[in-house]
Amino acid sequence: MLYVAGHRPTTVQDHVALVEIDLTGELMIAAAAASEDRLSPDRIDEVLEVDGGDPADRVPPGTGTAGRCPD
């Protein structure tokens, strides 16, 4: 016999995840509208409405803070 879990209503929202989903959507829209193959770091900062800051402070995607030297 196959067991199928019942549907449980979702009552908790992960607000950080919702913001990340929204920002990812904005990046996808910008990438689809771009004429170049990739968005430049400056264009990504513009789409995400952030100040680019010092490029030396940027952490490569997927490395989290593990790739940074402690201050």
How many residues are recorded in the chain? 71
Which pLDDT band holds residue 13 (cuts at 50, 70, 90)?
A: confident
**Cβ atoms of residues 50 and 26 within 8 Å:** no
Rounded-to-integer distance, Cα 43 and Cα 40, Å: 5
- Tell me the residue ranges of DSSP E strands in 1-70: none
More confident residue, 8 or 14: 14
Res 22 pLDDT > 80: yes
